[in-house]
Amino acid sequence: MTEILAFYHLQEALEEIGIEIRNHYQDLLIQPDEKGYNRIATGNLLNSVDFLVTRGNTNIWVELHLEDYWKYLEYGTQPHWPPLDKIKDWIVIKPVLPRPENGKLPTQDQLAYLIGRKISREGTPARYYLNKTIDELNNWISRKINDAVTEDLEDDVNLIFIKYFK
């Protein structure tokens, strides 16, 4: 028998919300940047995006799971010297093709240094993909939750009437 205050519709709505947030966030991640360049290097962040709907005793929630470095993409970084070995790895994975400077093609070490120097001066820009995702889906999410809770409460009222007033 169905139990009162089980919120099955809400759980189903949160599953749909998790799917929509995941898909929308991934869509933003794969969009080319302002210059038309592909932003994806390893695809680790893109492929890590997942969610989990969890039920506690008195609540239900959605958790979004992402690679730990999502926050640096989301909020950017202050100027700092990045680890040059990580920059070199990124140059190979991306790949970053060096442009001749003063008629000479920079080596991988020189290119990593130049990129690191720029980050040390400017930091990295914030992208706010997760914030954009939530902002763009906010009205839909609110309606989805409201509709689900309304359905759950209607089911509960009907169940109470059937169980106690029949």
Residue 40 and residue 29 in contact, taking contact as beta carbons nearer than 8 Å: yes
Are 112 and 36 members of one domain?
no
Are 144 and 117 members of one domain?
no
- What is the count of structural domains for the chain? 2
**Of the candidates 17, 23, 119, 7, which has an alpha carbon nearest to the alpha carbon of residue 55?**
7
Are 10 and 66 members of one domain?
yes
Are 12 and 70 members of one domain?
yes
Are 68 and 100 members of one domain?
no
Are 113 and 131 members of one domain?
no
Cβ-based neighbour number of residue 164 at 10 Å: 7
Are 24 and 67 members of one domain?
yes
Per-residue pLDDT of the chain (166 residues; tens, 9 = 90+): 467 678 899 999 999 999 999 999 999 999 988 888 788 888 999 999 999 999 988 889 999 999 999 999 999 999 999 999 999 999 999 888 888 777 888 999 999 999 999 999 999 999 999 999 999 999 999 999 999 999 999 988 888 888 777 6
For residue 58, the model assigns a pLDDT of 83
Residue 111 and residue 95 in contact, taking contact as beta carbons nearer than 8 Å: no
Q: Containing domain of residue 86, as a range?
A: 77-124
Are 5 and 58 members of one domain?
yes
Are 27 and 47 members of one domain?
yes
Are 70 and 137 members of one domain?
yes
Could you tell me the pTM of the whole model? Answer: 0.85
CA atoms within a 13 Å half-sphere pointing along the CA-CB vector of 118: 8
